[in-house]
């Protein structure tokens, strides 16, 4: 007669590991590797520093856009938001902002919040030193201040990756990490319908939602046209569900801009 195998108890596992120290070492190594991966790769991880990924108002959501300004896509996104009287938050790349200062000024003039998204969004830079990150942050904040008169307190790590050295630089600069709870994955080659479906299936009140209006300096051959196409449907869905779209400036209980010219003198 068939019998289900007995499930090992914690005591059984403990005895096995005690008899085979290499298994215990391998388990510890695997657990440590998994924890490190979670700490670095998970956008909402708070191992290295506090991270904001939701807002308190459960009747609202915060639309955020990364990697701009890129006029071909940021301009149409701003037009859609203006027609629907929606305010959002834009995490801007310093190099893109330097090339398009008028677009930065427009974002702020139209009532949107701006945040720091590093100087060049280098994927290898996630593991840079504290001085590397201090320079990335200060250079970007200075460009944003010159273009708009605003020096942001909010910082979104490229790809959401965080390290101890980066966190020290961010905190030393007086900035705050902002992640997200729902990501549209709209930097992939997916349709506007798929982008919209992802947002519809996952959104809840109080969420920070992430889309992309710009291109990283290394992604100039790509396009965010599908994001532009999806945005009106996303806004319509959110309103049909009774959610207000708010910029982080209105959603957080602390100032999102420095009162003086940003982080100069804080880094290093």
> What residue ranges do the domains of the chain occupy?
11-41, 51-251
Tokens of residue 180, six digits: 């997200």
State how beta strands 182-183 and 176-178 pair.
Answer: unpaired
Alpha-carbon 54 to chain mean position: 12
Contact 119, 135 (CB under 8 A): yes
Quick one: which of 105, 101, 107 has its CA closest to 74? 107
Strand partners, 244: 60
Taking the model in full, what pTM does it have?
A: 0.84
CATH for the 51-251 domain, from 3.40.50.720, 3.20.20.370, 3.40.1280.10, 3.40.120.10:
3.20.20.370
State how beta strands 60-68 and 208-212 pair.
Answer: parallel
Strand partners, 155: 116, 177
The residue from 20, 66, 146, 207 that is catalytic is 66
Q: How far apart are CA 183 and CA 195, in angstroms?
A: 9
Q: What is the pLDDT along the chain (268 residues), one digit of tens a residue?
A: 444 445 555 565 556 656 666 545 545 545 556 655 645 566 677 788 899 999 999 999 999 999 999 999 999 999 999 999 999 999 999 999 999 999 999 999 999 999 999 999 998 888 899 999 999 999 999 999 999 999 999 999 999 989 999 999 999 999 999 999 999 999 999 999 999 999 999 999 999 999 999 999 888 789 999 999 999 999 999 999 999 999 999 999 999 999 765 444 444 3
Q: How far apart are CA 18 and CA 24, in angstroms?
A: 8
pLDDT of residue 123: 84
Asked about 66 being catalytic, the answer comes back as yes
The residue from 121, 207, 212, 213 that is catalytic is 212
> Among the residues of the chain, which ranges form H helices?
10-19, 21-41, 71-83, 94-99, 101-109, 130-148, 164-172, 192-202, 225-240, 248-251
Asked about 112 being catalytic, the answer comes back as no
pLDDT of residue 266: 45
Virtual torsion, Cα 211, 217, 218, 220, nearest 10 deg: 80
């Amino acid at each position: 007669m068939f019998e289900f195998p007995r499930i090992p108890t914690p005591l059984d596992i403990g005895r096995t590991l005690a008899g085979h120290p290499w298994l215990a070492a391998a388990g510890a190594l695997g657990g440590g590797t998994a924890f490190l991966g979670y700490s670095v790769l998970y956008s909402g991880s708070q191992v290295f520093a506090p991270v904001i990924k939701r807002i308190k108002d459960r009747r609202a959501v915060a639309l955020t856009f990364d990697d701009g300004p890129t006029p071909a896509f940021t301009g149409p996104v701003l037009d859609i938001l203006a027609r629907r009287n929606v305010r959002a938050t834009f995490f801007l790349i310093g190099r893109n902002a330097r090339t398009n200062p008028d677009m930065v000024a427009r974002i702020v003039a139209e009532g949107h919040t701006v945040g720091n998204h590093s100087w060049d969004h280098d994927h290898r830079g996630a593991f840079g030193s504290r001085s590397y990150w201090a320079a990335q942050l200060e250079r970007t904040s200075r460009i944003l201040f010159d273009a708009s008169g605003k020096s942001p307190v909010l910082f979104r790590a490229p790809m959401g990756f965080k390290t101890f050295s980066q966190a020290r630089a961010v905190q030393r600069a007086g900035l705050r990490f902002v992640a997200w709870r729902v990501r549209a994955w709209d930097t992939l080659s997916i349709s506007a319908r798929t982008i919209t479906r992802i947002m519809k299936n996952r959104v809840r009140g109080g969420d920070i939602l992430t889309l992309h209006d710009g291109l990283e300096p290394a992604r100039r051959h790509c396009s965010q046209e599908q994001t532009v196409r999806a945005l009106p449907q996303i806004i319509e869905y959110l309103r049909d569900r009774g959610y207000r779209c708010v910029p982080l400036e209105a959603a957080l209980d602390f100032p999102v801009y420095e009162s003086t010219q940003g982080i100069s003198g804080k880094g290093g």
